[in-house]
């Protein structure tokens, strides 16, 4: 089978996985169910969670490898990527402005899913033979669901994550970086490939502590840089912002009429594109962020769960919203390409919107630099996800060879056409999410029970590690977590 035929097959599989009868209702349903079971925790505790993650940043005296803030930025590094630029444009370009509404819904409900998976990542984490924390769905599915089915789900997730990390977290990101640098600054793709490979190798060899230090410095700067550019455009087009919101809400439930070169879309397309691209952007429900959360120095799983929850808020409600509003208010979403007479390609849409909204070449440069930083940080975050999943399957002996191979594959991504890889990445994302969502539903009672217990004693998240140990003393769940966090496993 030629590559075009293989790509068509993968795209058909992806369309079914991310279609309206499979993963979309499961993602939204799981998020809604967890929101109800947790009493709307993402709304009631958002302020306290942002303070804990962004300002307090760490729990002194707690066990773990990196601070809560570094765990948050590592997860943000993996999620704030091409999905926030190209993914948003694709959703709006195909589904119309109403797709942005469904990205918001996915994000808000996904915050409950993100909280739950991060909670479980810490709750059932363990220590590997090298003395580092290891956790995520590849562990909590097996340790939380104590039967053969739980082990099957854990292994299924781990295999899917190892394969997916080379697609969504590596080659596609490198390809986006090299293509944009070539188009904007005439940098040869092989030069970008060499520089990016060396950068990845230097950071990844140091493991999660090295990744955490780099992302803690890089992620806040890149997000602020990009968001400030978007805010400038929205202020300049402030008169069009109310109309943009009205269009988003109305077309979320009616679909989009044909305008100019835009073909128009049905409501089901708006929902499908909004949810699929929303998950591609914030990864809520996929279980990936739980792997980073498990490395955090935290005094209780609830605390890191809440910190990790803010990742989805920052990614979707802030960064995605900025991109979407810029595209809509500048009118770029239904702009006609003069050369073809059809709608402008979603791959060019965000760059065109920023170029239209900012003076000179500033807009073009902001999108290019933003995409380079976003995609580069995604490579770092996803490398860790693949590493911990591989450690679960074969042990610590594979970690250093994996880091070297992962870095070298970046060069391949920078210098190769990747239509098949993009389609394959969408399929693997779905396969990662499926076992994790099943696990979240099965373990939701444990999450709700232990969350209520903790928040009854520390509703404002201000307790010290010693205070947490004191008021949780004697609680079976707390003692279980302390015990399970300790043993060294998989020494082979």
In a domain, 356, yes or no: yes
> How confident is the model at residue 264, as a pLDDT?
55
CA distances from 465 to 217, 298, 468, 479, 492 (A): 26, 8, 5, 14, 34
Could you give the number of structural domains in the chain?
A: 1
Q: Is residue 370 part of a domain?
A: yes
Does residue 142 lie in a domain region?
Answer: yes
> Residue 492 has what pLDDT?
42
At 253-269, the pLDDT tens digits run 887 754 544 555 667 77
CB-based contact 286:429 (threshold 8 Å)? yes
pLDDT digits (tens, 9 = 90+) for 137-194: 999 999 999 889 999 999 999 999 999 899 888 998 898 889 888 888 899 999 999 9
Question: Is 164 within the bounds of a domain?
Answer: yes
Helix (H) or strand (E) holding 421: helix 419-442
| Residue 485 placed within a domain | no
pLDDT for 266 equals 67
Percent of the chain, pLDDT > 70? 95
pLDDT (average), residues 293-300: 93
Is 5 contained in some domain? no
- For the segment 390-448, what is each residue's pLDDT rounded down to a tens digit? 999 999 999 999 999 999 999 999 998 777 777 787 788 888 999 999 999 999 999 99
Average pLDDT of the chain to the nearest whole number = 87
- β-strand partners of 128: 489
What pLDDT shows up at residue 489?
Answer: 47
- We report the CATH number of the domain holding residue 197 as 1.20.1740.10
437-490 pLDDT tens trace: 999 999 999 999 999 999 999 999 998 888 898 888 877 788 777 776 544 444
What's the distance, Cα to Cα, between the start and end of the chain in Å? 39
pLDDT reported for residue 265: 60
Instruction: Provide the token pair at 221.
Output: 């700067």
Q: Determine, yes or no, domain membership for 471.
A: no
Confidence of residue 371 (pLDDT cuts 50, 70, 90): confident
What is the structure's pLDDT at 434?
A: 93
Question: Using CA atoms, how far apart are residues 350 and 315, in angstroms rounded to an integer?
Answer: 16
Average pLDDT over residues 9-16: 84
At CB < 8 A and 24+ separation, what contacts does 14-19 make?
Answer: 14/423, 14/426, 14/427, 14/430, 17/426, 17/427, 17/430, 17/431, 18/272, 18/275, 18/276, 18/426, 18/430, 19/272
Q: Which domain holds residue 313?
A: 20-333+341-463
The answer to whether residue 11 is domain-embedded is no
Query: What is the residue whose two structure tokens read 């190892």?
Result: 162
Residue 230 has pLDDT above 60, yes or no: yes
In three state form, how does the secondary structure of 313-329 look?
HHHHHHHHHHHHHHHHH
């Amino acid at each position: 089978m030629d590559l075009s035929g293989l790509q068509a097959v993968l795209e058909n599989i992806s369309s079914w996985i991310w279609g309206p009868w499979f993963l979309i209702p499961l993602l939204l349903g799981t998020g809604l169910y967890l929101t109800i079971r947790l009493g709307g925790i993402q709304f009631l505790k958002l302020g306290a969670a942002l303070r804990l993650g962004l300002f307090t940043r760490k729990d002194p005296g707690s066990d773990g490898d990196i601070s809560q803030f570094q765990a948050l930025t590592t997860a943000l590094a993996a999620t704030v990527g091409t999905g926030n630029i190209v993914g948003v444009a694709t959703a709006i370009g195909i589904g119309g402005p109403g797709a942005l509404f469904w990205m918001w819904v996915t994000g808000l409900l996904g915050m409950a899913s993100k909280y739950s998976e991060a909670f479980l990542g810490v709750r059932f984490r363990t220590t590997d033979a090298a003395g580092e924390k290891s956790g995520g769905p590849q562990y909590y599915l097996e340790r939380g669901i104590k039967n053969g089915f739980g082990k099957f789900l854990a292994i299924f997730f781990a295999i899917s994550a190892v394969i997916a990390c080379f697609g969504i977290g590596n080659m596609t990101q490198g390809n986006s970086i090299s293509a944009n640098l070539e188009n904007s600054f005439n940098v040869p793709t092989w030069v970008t490939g060499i520089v990016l490979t060396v950068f990845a190798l230097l950071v990844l060899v140091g493991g999660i502590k090295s990744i955490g230090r780099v992302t803690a410095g890089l992620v806040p700067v890149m997000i602020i840089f990009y968001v400030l550019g978007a805010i400038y455009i929205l202020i300049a087009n402030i008169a069009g912002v109310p109309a943009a919101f009205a269009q988003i809400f109305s077309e979320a439930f009616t679909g989009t009429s044909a305008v100019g070169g835009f073909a128009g879309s049905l409501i089901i397309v708006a929902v499908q594109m909004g949810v699929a691209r929303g998950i591609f952007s914030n990864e809520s429900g996929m279980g990936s962020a739980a792997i980073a959360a498990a490395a955090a120095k935290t005094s209780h799983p609830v605390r890191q769960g809440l910190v990790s929850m803010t990742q989805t808020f920052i990614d979707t409600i802030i960064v995605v919203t900025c991109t979407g509003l810029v595209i809509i208010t500048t009118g770029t979403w239904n702009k006609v390409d003069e050369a073809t007479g059809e709608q402008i390609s979603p791959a060019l849409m965000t760059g065109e919107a920023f170029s239209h909204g900012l003076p000179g070449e500033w807009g073009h440069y902001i999108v290019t630099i933003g995409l380079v930083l976003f995609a580069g940080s995604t490579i770092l975050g996803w490398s860790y996800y693949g590493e911990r999943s591989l450690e679960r399957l074969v042990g610590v002996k594979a970690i250093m060879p994996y880091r070297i191979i992962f870095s070298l594959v970046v060069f391949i991504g920078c210098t190769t056409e990747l239509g098949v890889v993009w389609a394959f990445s969408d399929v693997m994302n779905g396969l990662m999410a499926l076992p994790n969502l099943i696990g979240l539903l099965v373990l939701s009672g444990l999450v709700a029970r232990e969350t209520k217990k903790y928040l009854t004693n520390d509703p404002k998240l201000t307790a010290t590690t010693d205070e947490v140990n004191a008021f949780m003393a004697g609680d079976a769940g707390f003692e279980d977590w302390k015990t399970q966090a300790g043993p060294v496993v998989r020494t082979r």
